[in-house]
Structure 1
C-alpha cells in the first residue's frame, strides 16, 4: 500500500479483473469510467482478462484464459471448477503487478477472488439487484466475499437488494448518458398522436404483456416495441393491431425522442438496476412510465417518472392521465449532479480512499 503523498503525486494503478464475451451495459460502464480516469491522468489500468471492445489506449490487456459469465443453465459447482485456471492466472498477475487497487464486477470474480486477494484494496461494483434464484449457499458465499471489498451500487434499489443479504454498499448513481448520435445532438420531437415505446430484450421477465394488454384496452394509442429476444414470436402472437414490432433499432435515441412516453414493465425478476433507456428518456425530457414493483422505481421517482400498478389495467389508467405524458425536463442542477464528470470524480474519490485505507480484511 502506497503512502498518501505517493497517491497524490502519481496515478493510481488499477487491476481491472473482468472477462466477458459481450458488450452490454456493464461493459459500457467500464469503458466510460476508465476512459475518463485515464484521460485525466488520475489512474492507470490493466485489463486482467478480456472485454470485446476494450480501447487499447485506455490500458494494457493481460489475458488469463477464457472465463465465461456464470449462468443458471449449468451447475454452479461445475462452472466454478471451470474458472480455476483463469482465476489462478488473475491472482498471479494481481500479485506480481502489485496494483494499488483491484476492481471486480462479475459474479465469477466476486465468488472466487476476494478472499485470496484480501491483502489488497478491492473495489466491487454491482449493477443489478441480487438474483432471487441463486444456487443454495451462493448468496452466503457472496456476502462473505464482500467483507474484503468496498462495494458500489449503481442505484438505491441495488443497494437495498445487497443490504438484504448483509452486504453494505455506497451508492454512486449511473450518469445521464450523452444524447448525441454521430456528433449531432438528438432533440425531443413529440408526436401528434399518443405513442408509447418499449425498448429492450423481448423476454418473459420483462413482462411486456402488460403493455400489450394496455394497448388492447386503449386502441387509440400506438405502441412501439423495439428490440429482439427469445419471446418475440409469443408477444407478436398476442398483440392487437395497434402494436408494432420494430426489431433491433440502432441507435434508439431518435425513436425515444419522437415517442410520447417510454414504458418499463419489468418486475423484480428482471433485476433492473438503473435502466439505460430510462436515463436516456429523462435526459431528453421524455416521460417514463415504470412498474411500481421494479427495483429501479425509487430512482425513477427521483427522476420524475410515473409509476403504475403492474397490470394492464394499471398501466392503461396511467396512460389515461394526460399529465403523465407531458414532456417534463429535469432541472439543470439535477443534470449537472448526474453528469459523467461528477460520476467519474465520485469513483476516483472512492478509489483514493480505499487505496489509502487499504484492505478491509
Structure 2
C-alpha cells in the first residue's frame, strides 16, 4: 500500500521565507512590538528553513524588526550549516566565535529601549544576556503576544498537512489488519511507528496505545499490559511528514463491543461530528469546544471529558489555535486543528475520535478520512 494519491509538495522558496518574515514584522508592529527574536525551534524552521543540528548553549538568534533587514546571529562553527538553509538568502548573517561574548553582537541589533516578542523556548541565560547588554529592553513570550503567528497555512503548507494526514490514515488502515489480542501495547505501538515511517513520516512523535483501563488516560504511554479480548483500545499517533504534522485517533475493540462501549463510542462520534459541523470562518475557537462538549454533557458524561476539544497543528503537532473555552479568536480560512472529544471512565476504558480539520472559505474540511464507526479487531 502506498500514499501516492496526492502530489508531492513543492519546496519552500526564498520568496516564501521572505514573505513570512515580512508578515511577522508587520504583525509585530501591529502588536506594539519593536521586533521579534527567534531562537532554535519550530519558529526558526518556519521562518528560515534552518534547524541547527544540535540545540546547544551557543547563542543562535534571528532578529526581525522594522528598522533593519532580518539578521541571524550564529556561532561561527555553525555558519556553514545556516548558510545552506533554504531561507538563508532572505537574511543577513553575523557570526561570533567561542571565547567571545555573543550578547553585545545580538544587542547591537536591538532598539535600546524596545519591547520584543521572543520564542517561548529561548534559554533563560540568553534572555538574561540580552537584558544585561540592553537593560532597558523588555521581552514577552511569542505565545502571549503573537500566538497566531503560524496559524494560517498557505497552499503549500496545506498540501504537506494533507500528505501527513493521508499517511496517518494509511497507517490506521494497516494497523487494524494486525492482531491485537495477546500482544503487548508496546508491540502495537512499535507497529504504528513502523507504519508511519513506511508511509513517509520522517519523524514519529507519539504512538499512544491505551488498552482497557489504560484507555482512560488520554496520554497513556504504551506499556507492558497484554491486550485482551473485549478491550477497547485507544490508538493516537502522529509525527512529521515533509516537515508538517499528523495526529489522528481512533478507538478499536478486540472482538464485539459491549453495549456500554458501543454507547460511549456513539456519543463521542456524535460529538466529533458536531464539532466539525460548527467549523466555518468567523466562529470563535471556543465554539468548537462548546458544541462538542454539549453533546457529551447532555449524555451524562461531561465530567469524563477532561481535556480541550482541539489544538492547532503545523510544523509541530501541538500549536495555536486551541479549541478550548476562553479562546475567543475567530477561525480563519487556512487554520488547521484537531477535533478530538473523548470520554474516559477511570479504571475501565476510554474512547476518543480525532481528525485534523482545515477551515475553508465557507466551512471545514477533514484531512483525516478513515471510518469513524467502531472497528472490531482480532
Regarding TM over 0.5, the answer is no
TM-score, scaled relative to structure 2: 0.35
Larger radius of gyration: 2
Name the one with the larger helix percent. 1
The one of the two structures with greater contact order (alpha-carbon pairs below 8 A, sep at least 6) is 1
Name the one with the larger strand percent. 2
